[in-house]
Structure 1
Amino acid sequence: MDVLRILATPDLEVRKKTLNLALELVTMRSVNEMVEVLKKEVGKTHNTVEHEDTGKYRQLLVRTLHTISIKFPEVAANVIPILMDFLSDNNELAATDVLVFVREAIQRFEGLRPQIIERLLSALPTICSVTVHCHTLWILGEYASTTGEILGVVSSVRGSLGDLPIVEDEMRKAAGEAGEEEGGTEKAAQQHQQQQQKVTADGTYATQSAFSATTSKSKADDRPPLRKYLLEGNFYLGAVIANTLVKLAFRYNSLESNSSKQNAFGAEVMLVISSIVHLGKSGLPQKSMTEDDYDRMMLCLQVVSERTPGLASVFTEQCRSALSHMLLAKTEEEEAQRRDRKSSKVIEHVDDHIAFSHLTKGSDPSSADDMFDLSMSMAVSGGKKEGVDLSTSKLSKVMQLTGFSDPVYAEAYVHINQYDIVLDVLIVNQTSDILQNCTLELATYGDLKLVEKPQPVVLAPHDFCNIKANVKVASTENGFIFGNIVYDVKGSTSDRNVVILNDIHVDIMDYIVPATCTDLEFRQMWTEFEWENKVTVNTQMTELKSYLDYLCKSTNMKCLTPEKAFSGTGDYMAANLYAHSIFGEDALANLSIEKPLDNPEAPVTGHIRIRAKSQGMAISLGDRVNKVQKATIKSVGA
């Protein structure tokens, strides 16, 4: 538990790594103590001044408690009350993470379902986010199983919508407000006269409105939360409400045998849904209702009116079955990642000794053994990797800068070491003259910076030399290095001679590594990132999965869509890809591809949408996709 003391530091990255380390070290004996410590940390986040890091730290605490509850189900009952307090939090990310945990906990731990339903019903009026409301209503509609719970959910929804029908109620309120405004004109004038300058206790002048006059709240603030969201144009919430009520109606019919009560409950559900549809078509909301939301709500109305057993199975059984399959796939993926981490080969252990031959005394009898052990260690573990030839890999990074017929031949070995690019340039004098002041002049384009200019050299006839140049890289963006070689010929009175060099292009793939994130984080970043690059798929490949694998391998991106989603046969595919650069930049991609129905052997068609925080990242990754697609066309054509 001493590790958790590091949480006192204000640095968010240190806190994140501390919590990850604590999750790996926690055991059944120490889990209760860890939960108590995290409880105190949660309390501290409520008592501190709100800023960006506070919300992110709160989100980390929620995810940590989530992981602990799944890993140790015995403490789930103590963790749930702590996390439920986040539902009324202004930080939407933390509240959404809580509902992700609640969704998994209510599916895994059947004994905690009544407690969770009760907590959600009590927290429903205090929620202040439409996204959190949608998630909460879905959970309540899916897991409310008793008659009391079902009636409680419907009552909460009716209370949050206000009087029905919504349009007629809003029209009555609007007419009442107009009458009050006409009748209160004289009162307003009198109040304005009363709010003229008044003398305060210290003899200064002030208006009444600055001290005692209270500003009346707008009528919109007095509306129930769900109605306020609908009037703002969030009719996706209306579709969620309709879907929730349909599930509750089918479940109520299975519990209640009285047909009159079944009809009354169904009529109430249809009244709520039809009121929302009427509101969407009335023109009162700030935004009009989309056709998708309208079709969904009309489908729910038809389902409630028909009540066929097949539709009941879809709403009450298959939805939950899909959730269980998704959670199972998520668990299997996490287990696979954990096995990969454990099976990864350790090249050097933490407590291995480092032998320095220059510091070893010759008279030390153990020095020979130490050097022997060191040599054996280097011989055994320091060899070449299988399938990789060191000389070949170096030669593949050599770029020819000038032609063989130029007076000065130059080639460069490009060595990339994260933030630095080292150019080892070989310059050969192919003439019979002495070249004086032979200078390598370089310049950069993009987010690259030349550290220092190379010094001039003198080359004898048919002599050569190596010149090194360092270039700093500041971001993941396509750039290139260009320049020329300038020299003087000894004994010549002509101007300086110039040999123009070929451009050296910097590949962004050297800075991008595959990474993983949750679906919620992906959607959040997709919303926040403002730069998008849409690339059309242009390839000769005919298999959807093969194209996806080739794209991930060529762009160093990781597919976030589970492997089970690609099982079976189909003519279309959608997948989310994610990668992270060493500079802290994120890159997202959404792949949407299909095959023509009439010609299964036709090439794959579709598009790839790339989003990033910076314009350079989005454009560079799009250029990379176009480049690898051209390679597939050439290979097939050859």
Structure 2
Amino acid sequence: MSVETKQAAYTLVFDPSTGGESYTISELQKALEKGSEDEKVAAMKHILVMMLDGNPLPELLMHIIRFVMPSKNKKLKKLLYFYWEIVPKMDEEGKLRHEMILVCNAIQHDLQHPNEYIRGNTLRFLTKLHEPELLEQMVPSVLACLEYRHAYVRKYAILAVQSIHKVSEHLIPDANEIVYKFLEDELDPICKRNAFIGVAELDRENALKYLEENIVSIEKIDPLLQSVFVEFIRKDANLTPSLKDQYIALLMELLNATTYDDVVLETALALALLTSNSTILNASVSKLTDLADRVSDNNVKLIVLDRVQDINSANPGTLEERTLDILRLLNSEDLDVRSKALDISLDLISSRNAEDVIQLLKKELQITVTNNEKENAMKYRQLLIKAIRSIAIKFSEMAESVISLLLEFIGDLNSVATCGVISFVKDVIEKYPQQRSVILTQLLGALENVKSAKAYRGALWILGEYSESSSEIQASWKHLRTSIGEVPIVQSEMRKLNKNEEENKEESKDETTKSSGPVILPDGTYATESAFGNENVSKKITASEKEERPPLRRFILGGDFYTAAILASTVVKLVLKFDKVSKDKHVMNALKSEGLLILVSIIRAGQSSLVERKIDEDSADRLMTAISILMDENDPNEKPSERSLLELAFIDATRESFKNQLSLSKRANLRRSVKDVVKNADTIETAISFRQFTHSNVGAIEKDTVEEDLNQAIHGDASDFAAKQASSKLKKIVPLTGFSDPVYAEAYITNNQFDVVLEVLLVNQTKDTLKNLHVQFATLGDLKIIDKPPSTNIVPHGFHRITITVKVSSADTGVIFGNIIYDGGHGEDARYVILNDVHIDIMDYIKPSVTSDERFRTMWNEFEWENKISVKSDLPSLHTYLEELTRGTNMGVLTPQESLGEEDCRFLSCNLYAKSSFGEDALANLCIEMDSNTHQVIGYVRIRSKGQGLALSLGDRVALIAKQSNKIKLSRV
């Protein structure tokens, strides 16, 4: 629809035959002429659907006038007025068709009908009529309906008067006086509302006069009239700045007095548009939060919270006082409402209210721990931990108490939440060095309750990086030693197994089973049993015994040797640091020897059958590297340069890398925080507007965001429309048949949000009339044909247009195929023309999006479908390929720009994310390098999604990028 041209909004009619039969013109004429009332109703529905598809059906106009218009059936009469809305009323010369004179007479009779509902329906139809020649004869009847006894008729009559005046002012020249008099005399609230809307549009002075007369009792009048008053004030205040202060005072009075939810919402939004005064904005937001807290509909809560967020974005720093009011919505059971309330509140946190917010979130966190069985309790707990974490990082005085709280509950949290707590501890301990000693002590006390291996690895990194003094290093080492348990691991575990077997044997002496305990030799002595050859050893441990093990021992025997590799790195760091801060050789030698014993014991356990999975090669290499480093520590001939390189690798480099990561995150947060301020800030060159120096008829000085949202919902985005117009329509035309076929067909494809519209042009290229021609379409994929076009006859070299609507339910690749069928000659079979396939471009439904790193990793682990594509491209650089990939797949890059390296880098790895219009998530990981020999971009793109189709479709797009970039260039012929 064009943004410039106003078009009538037609009433949509449900098509009962979704995949059903089609009717010819003669069949429809017969149904209208000789059918029963029900058959006529069905025929009228088919006629309306066919006309809305673009077929005007002029042959049926007289049949409908003769056989449908005289009917008294209410359903048929309602469908008849739908027909009058869309039927062409002008001939080819632009003059009124003669048949419409009969229609005018019928409409006039209905305007005088004794049934008020028929009168009201007819008046409502007149508001959609835009032909002055038709409306001119009906003006007296419409004016007479203004005094009808039923309010149902009067409410549509006043709208009809406004509509007729808009179409042509000379038809009702005194419309403004008529509408104002009607407004003063009317008592029905709906009629008064419609009348005031008309007065506001036709005569602003009369509307202002009526508003002044009702200011005193504005809180007592009907809420419908209050709403239109607010709308008029919002529009008029921007046009007449001299009255703005009075309007704001009036709206504040109405906001405090009204008890109607819809009026509260509209009044608060109007005040937010008209002023930036912090007192008024806080009062408005207070009313909005009360409204959101009071209503039970979660959709209303989300809408109100969106409006509060818009107010905060337009006026940064003015709503701090309302933070706790917004957090009252955490009482809602809906997770989306809670998440929205937390997001808004985090933008309002300051040093004055941070402590109160933390206390409130602590209580909510304790409630989630006690009510763990509730639905979405874990997700809500993660939201609370994330919010507490962001507040504590921003305000250092809160960090210590927050960490103690979170570490206290760490045993009750799930894996994701525990990782979030450990990540938070890492951020705080780096940002606030003065609190490191206290935080390390609290962390060591809570680690025995950690059940997540991923979180424990993060804690090991903290212990290795931030244990600085001798006492801290020894405390950390003591915890590691306790967490490993008795070493060597293999011997101690076998000893426990043998002990359990002996106890079980004594309890079950009467049972003769195969010996699973110690092996007895023929001479009566016990044989030594090795854990390296017994495959059933690990199965003898019960689940309760596994849970009673210390954390590190449990992880290692469970087969998690990546945690063991992190432990080896931590051991090396602690030994290197202790050597720098202490000269006690006895303790140093004890640490080295005990570290060697632990690491060797882990390797031996990884090679035995005690563990659920054998040790992998990478982890074994890292453990052996740590062992060799500890062994070299005893080498007196070690060079200082070797020592400095070792300290650089294990002590300095990792800390520096983490600092850079934090600085990047801090810069990203700063950019997000100032984005709203920059968006609403005025430049230095902006002229200052003095209200006293402006005229009363000055143009609009502020944007009316309510009207902008309404226009965008009706017409769409003007910039998008201009872009669509700028792109040639020829690019969207797909030929369905060849020029040599008897019927040439081409389709113009339009992609909307959830459907695809094919406007098909059919051309008869023969010298014969093609009879009973119809087009059949079918689909492959998540597509559904909505329309089934009727059969038709096409004259020699004639044209025919049909419209096909295809519903799209997912972003998978879809194919539309079909054929054209028409009757053959005398005694010949029907003839077919096969159509070319139409492939639906999924890129119209894929949009780049942003998500957090934690959510990306969670989805990456959850999604089961992966498509791995090899990359081999002749593009000049890795960044060029990344740009081509994002352009071709519509995916957004999640990795920060600073982490992508320089333009001429040799290696590049990043994550990408996109979301479809249907809510489907698409993840991708790009890992490429520049081949030094061939100077080609090589590597892999891994795509993951919940469904197979989306992963395959995006993989095809990646392969298409490679084909386009590797085209053979012809140098000479």
Does structure 2 retain, via aligned residues, the 8 Å contact 1:69–1:79? yes
Question: Given the alignment of the two structures, is residue 541 of structure 1 paired with residue 894 of structure 2, yes or no?
Answer: no
Contact kept? 2:755, 2:805, Cα under 8 Å: yes
8 Å CA contact retained: 1:86, 1:98: no
CA distance in 2, matches of 1:625, 1:340: 33
Q: Alpha carbons of 1:461 and 1:7: their partners in 2 closer, same or farther (altered >3 Å)?
A: farther
Q: Take 1:2 and 1:48, find their aligned partners in 2: how far apart are those partners?
A: 24
Does the 8 Å CA contact 2:928/2:939 hold for their aligned counterparts?
Answer: yes
> In structure 2, what is the equivalent of residue 130 of structure 1?
453
CA–CA separation in structure 2 for the residues paired with 1:217 and 1:451: 57
Tell whether the 8 Å contact from 2:925 to 2:943 is kept in structure 1 after alignment: yes
CA distance, structure 2, for counterparts of residue 462 and residue 217 of structure 1: 82
2:742 to 397, 401, 407: 407
SS of aligned partner of 2:727: helix
| Aligned pairs (5 A) from 1:153-232 | 153-186=476-509, 219-232=545-558
Aligned to 2:600: 274
Question: Residue deviations 1:588-620, cap 9 Å, x none?
Answer: 222222233334xx3222222222211111111
Q: Which residue of 1 aligns with 2:147?
A: none
Shift of 1:626: 0.9
Work out the CA distance in 1 between the residues paired with 2:671 and 2:355.
28
Which piece of structure 1 moves more, 445-454 or 580-589? 580-589
Residue pair 1:424, 1:466 contacting (<8 A) in 2 also:
yes
How big is each residue's C-alpha offset from its partner over 1:242-275, in whole Å with a ceiling of 9 and x where there is no partner? 1112111122222212222222222222222222
Of stretches 401-410 and 290-299 in structure 1, the one that deviates more from structure 2 is 401-410
1:480 aligns to 2:803 (yes or no): no
- Residue pair 1:86, 1:95 contacting (<8 A) in 2 also: no
Structural mapping, 1:300-311, within 5 Å: 300-307=626-633, 308-311=643-646
Show the counterpart of 1:327: 662
CA 72–455 in structure 1, closer or farther in 2 if over 3 Å, else same = farther
In the other structure, the counterpart of 2:963 is 630
Distance in 1, Cα, partners of 2:969 & 2:370: 63
Structure 1 position 89, deviation (Å): 2.7
2:849 is matched with: 515
Count of residue pairs the alignment pairs up? 586
Asked if 2 retains the 8 angstrom alpha-carbon contact of 1:587 and 1:611, the reply is yes
Contact preservation (8 Å) 2:467, 2:473: yes
- Map residues 398-547 of structure 1 onto 2, 5 A cutoff: 398-488=733-823, 493-547=827-881
Structure 2 counterpart of 1:71: 394
Shift, 1:292, TM fit? 1.0
* Equivalent AA in structure 2 for residue 273 of structure 1: L
Structure in which a larger fraction of residues adopt strand: 1
Query: 1:34 & 1:350 partners in 2: Cα distance?
Result: 34
1:206 corresponds to = none
The CA deviation at 1:455 is: 2.7
Aligned twin of 1:551? 885
User: How many angstroms does 1:547 deviate by?
Assistant: 1.1
Q: Who is 2:936 aligned against? A: 603
Q: Aligned ranges for residues 338-357 of structure 1 at < 5 Å? A: 351-353=705-707
Q: Which runs of 5+ in 1 are unaligned?
A: 190-215, 357-373
Could you tell me how far 1:301 is from its partner in structure 2?
A: 1.9
Q: Does the CA contact (< 8 Å) of 2:369 and 2:412 recur in 1?
A: no
Identify the range of structure 1 (138-147 vs 472-481) with the bigger mean alpha-carbon deviation.
138-147
TM-score by length of 2: 0.56
Distance in 2, Cα, partners of 1:66 & 1:90:
15
Structure of higher CA gyration radius: 2
Which residue does the alignment assign to 1:264?
A: 590
Q: 1:573 to 1:382 in 2, by over 3 A?
A: closer
Q: Tell me the SS of whatever aligns to 2:873.
A: coil
Aligned counterparts of 2:627 and 2:421: Cα–Cα separation in 1: 31
When residues 81 and 287 of structure 1 are mapped into structure 2, their CA distance, relative to the original with a 3 A threshold, is: same
| Structure 1 match to 2:621 | 295
Letter in 2 for 1:237: T
Deviation digits for residues 3-51 of structure 1, max 9, x if unmatched?
2233233332332223222222333433333223322221221122436
Q: Distance in 2 between matches of 1:138 and 1:339?
A: 33
Is the 8 Å Cα contact of residues 90 and 128 (structure 1) preserved in structure 2? no
Q: What do you get for the CA RMSD once the two structures are aligned?
A: 3.0
Aligned partner of 1:614 among 947, 959, 973: 947
Whole-angstrom distance in 2 between the partners of 1:402 and 1:504: 11
3-state SS of 2:391 partner: helix
- The answer for the alignment partner of 2:350 in structure 1 is 27
State the alpha-carbon separation in 2 of the partners of residues 394 and 339 from structure 1: 41
1:394 and 1:298 mapped to 2: Cα distance?
A: 66
- Paired residue for 2:366? 43
Change (3 A) 1:220 1:72: closer
Structure 2 SS opposite 1:634: coil
* 1:326-385 deviation per Cα after TM superposition (whole angstroms, max 9, x unaligned): 121223334445566766799x956444799xxxxxxxxxxxxxxxxx9xxx9xx94688
In structure 1, give the amino acid aligned to 2:847: V
Q: How much does 1:487 deviate?
A: 3.0
The one-letter amino acid paired with 1:584 is G
- Verify the 8 A CA contact 2:564 2:619 in the aligned structure 1: yes
Q: Which of 417, 425, 429 is the aligned partner of 1:106?
A: 429
In structure 1, how many angstroms separate the alpha carbons of the residues matched to 2:894 and 2:469? 37
Shift of 1:480: 0.9
1:242 matched to which residue of 2?
A: 568
TM-score, normalisation: structure 1: 0.84
The question of whether the paired residues in 2 share the 8 Å contact of 1:113 and 1:143 is answered with: yes
Looking at structure 2, the residues matched to 421 and 240 of structure 1 have their Cα atoms a distance apart, in angstroms, of 53
Instruction: Percent identity, please.
Output: 39
Equivalent position of 2:304 in the other structure: none
> Are residues 155 and 343 of structure 1, via their aligned partners in 2, closer, same or farther at CA, if it must alter by over 3 Å?
same
In 2, Cα distance between the equivalents of 1:412 and 1:419? 19
Which whole-Å CA distance do the structure 2 matches of 1:396 and 1:146 have between them?
70
Aligned partner of 1:464: which letter? Answer: F
Whole-angstrom distance in 2 between the partners of 1:476 and 1:383:
25
C-alpha contact (below 8 Å) 2:400/2:439 kept by paired residues:
no
Q: Is the 8 A contact 2:878 2:937 kept in 1?
A: yes
For residue 410 of structure 1, what is the amino acid of its counterpart? A
* SS of residue paired to 2:568: helix
* Superimposed CA distance per residue, residues 81-106 of structure 1 (whole angstroms, 9 cap, x where no aligned partner): 33223421351011111112111111
Partner of 2:222: none
Measure how far apart 1:513 and its partner are: 1.4
Distance 1:591 1:96 in 2: 25
Flag the 1:345–1:510 CA change in 2: closer, same or farther, 3 A. farther
Counterpart selection for 1:142 from 441, 457, 465: 465
CA contact (8 A) 2:773 2:794 kept: yes
**Structure 2 residues not aligned, in runs of 5+:** 1-323, 513-541, 634-642, 682-701
SS at match of 2:803: strand
Q: Which residue identity lines up with residue 890 of structure 2 in the other structure? A: N
Distance in 1 between residues matched to 2:735 and 2:359, nearest whole Å: 64
CA distance in structure 2 between the aligned counterparts of 1:272 and 1:605, rounded to whole angstroms:
41
Cα offset, 1:511, TM superposition: 1.4
- Pick closer, same or farther for the CA change 1:353–1:236 going to 2, 3 Å: closer
